[in-house]
Every structure is written in C-alpha cells, then in structure tokens.
Amino acid sequence: MSEEMQKRIVLILSTALAAYTATKLAGMFLDEPEERGSEDDVKEALVQGTFSVLATIAASRLIRDVLSKRWGS
C-alpha cells in the first residue's frame, strides 16, 4: 500500500472516529442549556479537538500495525 493511500485511510478513519466519539461524549458531558453561550461553544470545541487528535493518533497506529504485520516491514 502506498504512503499516500495510508495517509488517506488514516484521515478517513480518524475523522469518522473523532466525529462519532466527540458527539457522543459531548452529549454526555455537556448540558444543553436553553440558550447556548460562548462558554458552551468553547467546551464543545475542546472536546471535539481533543478527540480529533486522539483519533488521528489511534488510526495512524492501527494502520501502521496492520501494515507491518501484513508486509513484515
């Protein structure tokens, strides 16, 4: 698998995982007030940003582990 294809797979997997996880966790940790304020927006952005970074790292490790086992490099 080419380096470019690996990058695409990591990007797709990490984006999907981050979006799903951040949405679920934001719903659990953040209360939905009747009127959202800037503080709520900052909290949601921090949760989504954190999970985006973590999902990218996890997807990258997963792809590298799978490829190293498959091709033995």
In the 8-state DSSP scheme, what is residue 30? Answer: S
Asked if residues 60 and 13 have their Cβ atoms less than 8 Å apart, the reply is no
pLDDT values of the chain reduced to their tens digit, one per residue, 73 residues? 687 887 788 778 777 877 787 777 777 766 666 777 788 788 878 877 887 788 788 878 887 888 777 776 5
CA atoms 31, 33, 39, 40: torsion sign: positive
Q: Which of 59, 53, 50, 69 is nearest to 7 (CA)?
A: 59
